[in-house]
């Protein structure tokens, strides 16, 4: 491998992440960082033979022929499925943020059960009318997708005194009480989506699903937005099937992120999110559930371990598995 081929270029890097990676990076190759996605960078060809992205970059098809390796700094890799069977080394970070994301899910459902957005709005009048919340103890929680993140969500729910059940295609955790897909969902007060996105579960949470939930149910998605289309969520909020929605991920997120960063909120993706934001019991965060100091440190360490492993040995420590890429939530 020539010295130039050993350079690594990072996209979608926020300031704290760059600082953490630089602290740990050995002087064995050059590194460059870009805050924006590939499509926002204006690059028509890859600036290095090894690149690292997160989930919002859209990899041009012709880039795959020019790269030696691609690392996604995420636990999910649905955005790279088209490249898995090509002659390209693809790595990911399977376990760096499970606790962080699970805590974020808990934060969202707790705030929504307590009607925090409406309570904050009432502060200007110091009114307590219409903001009576609920305690978590005894509430029923369904975790859809019980992988590394989902099992942490379940543990946190249990610690709060909630009655927790899980829904998954595999029953790997003996401590989890499982229900099968298609089970009655009318008894749950909170439903958390922690599934990995697959070709089969786009719009898993559709109108029929929400028509069957308990009126006033809280829905949280910290996995992938394509499983809960915005228009379906809006309809379920407006007809009272959902009492609140917390999203850290969004349908058409790559497009949405670009629109919002460019302050061009007139596109279709931005309009649906703006409609959700206007609802009094909705909390939206910018795909930030992973972003804690602890998870960022783990992420940087695993990123450096992945890339130096490839530079030294020609392979990643954790490679995206071929042909079983989309089985279950954020393992």
Task: Indicate if the alpha-carbon torsion angle 303, 309, 315, 319 is positive or negative.
Answer: negative
pLDDT of residue 87: 84
Give the CATH number of domain 98-284; options: 3.40.50.720, 1.10.3720.10, 3.90.1310.10, 3.20.20.70: 3.40.50.720
Position 259 scores a pLDDT of: 87
In tens, the pLDDT along 71-85 reads 999 999 999 999 988
Contact 146, 329 (CB under 8 A): yes
| CATH code 3.40.50.720 region(s) in the chain | 4-96+293-313, 98-284
State how far the alpha carbon of 301 is from the alpha carbons of 22, 56, 93, 286, 298, in Å.
10, 22, 10, 23, 5
Is residue 104 within a helix (H) or strand (E), and if so which, with residue range?
helix 98-113
Quick one: pLDDT band at residue 1, thresholds 50, 70, 90? very low
At residue 178, the 3 state secondary structure works out as strand
The answer to whether 149 and 222 have CB atoms below 8 angstroms apart is yes
Q: CATH says 4-96+293-313 is which class? A: alpha beta
In the predicted structure, residue 37 carries a pLDDT above the cut 90? yes
Give the bridge partners for 165, in sequence order. Answer: 142
Count of CB atoms situated within 10 Å of the CB of 327: 14
State the average pLDDT over residues 198-205.
Answer: 93
pLDDT over threshold 90, residue 321: no
Q: Which residues pair with 163 in a beta bridge?
A: 140
Q: Which residue has the higher pLDDT, 54 or 272?
A: 54
Percentage of residues of the chain with pLDDT beyond 90: 85
Q: What are phi and psi of 41, to 5 degrees?
A: -75, -25
Residue with tokens 């699903």: 209
Band (330; pLDDT cuts 50, 70, 90): very low
- Separation of alpha carbons 24 and 206, rounded Å: 44
What is the Cα–Cα distance from 9 to 31, expressed in whole angstroms? Answer: 6
């Amino acid at each position: 491998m020539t010295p130039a081929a050993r350079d690594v270029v990072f996209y979608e890097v926020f300031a704290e992440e760059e600082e953490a990676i630089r602290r740990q990076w050995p002087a064995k190759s050059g590194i460059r960082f870009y805050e924006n996605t590939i499509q926002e960078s204006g690059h028509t060809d890859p600036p290095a033979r090894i690149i690292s992205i997160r989930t919002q970059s859209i990899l041009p098809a012709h880039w795959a022929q020019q790269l030696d390796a691609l690392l996604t700094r995420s636990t999910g890799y649905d955005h790279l499925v088209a490249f898995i069977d090509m002659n390209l080394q693809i790595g990911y970070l399977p376990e760096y943020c499970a606790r962080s994301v699970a805590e974020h899910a808990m934060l969202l459902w707790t705030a929504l059960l307590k009607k925090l957005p409406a309570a904050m709005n009432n502060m200007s009048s110091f009114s307590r009318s219409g903001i009576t919340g609920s305690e978590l103890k005894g509430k029923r929680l369904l975790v859809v997708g019980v992988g590394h993140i989902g099992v942490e969500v379940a543990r946190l729910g249990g610690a709060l005194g909630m009655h927790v059940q899980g829904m998954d295609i595999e029953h790997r955790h003996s401590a989890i009480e499982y229900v099968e897909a298609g089970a009655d969902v009318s008894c749950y007060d909170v439903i958390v989506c922690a599934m990995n996105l697959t070709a089969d579960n786009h719009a898993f949470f559709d109108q029929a699903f929400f028509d069957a939930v308990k009126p006033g149910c809280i829905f949280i998605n910290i996995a992938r937005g394509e499983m809960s289309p915005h228009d379906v969520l809006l309809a379920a909020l407006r007809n009272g099937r959902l009492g609140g929605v917390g999203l850290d991920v969004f349908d058409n997120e790559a497009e949405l992120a670009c629109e919002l960063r460019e302050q061009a909120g007139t596109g279709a993706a931005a309009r649906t999110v703006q409609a959700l934001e206007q609802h009094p019991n909705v909390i939206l965060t910018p795909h930030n559930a992973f972003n804690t100091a602890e998870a960022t440190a783990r992420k940087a360490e695993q990123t450096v371990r992945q890339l130096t492993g490839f530079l030294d040995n020609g392979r990643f420590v954790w490679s995206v598995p071929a042909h079983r890429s989309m089985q279950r939530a954020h393992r």
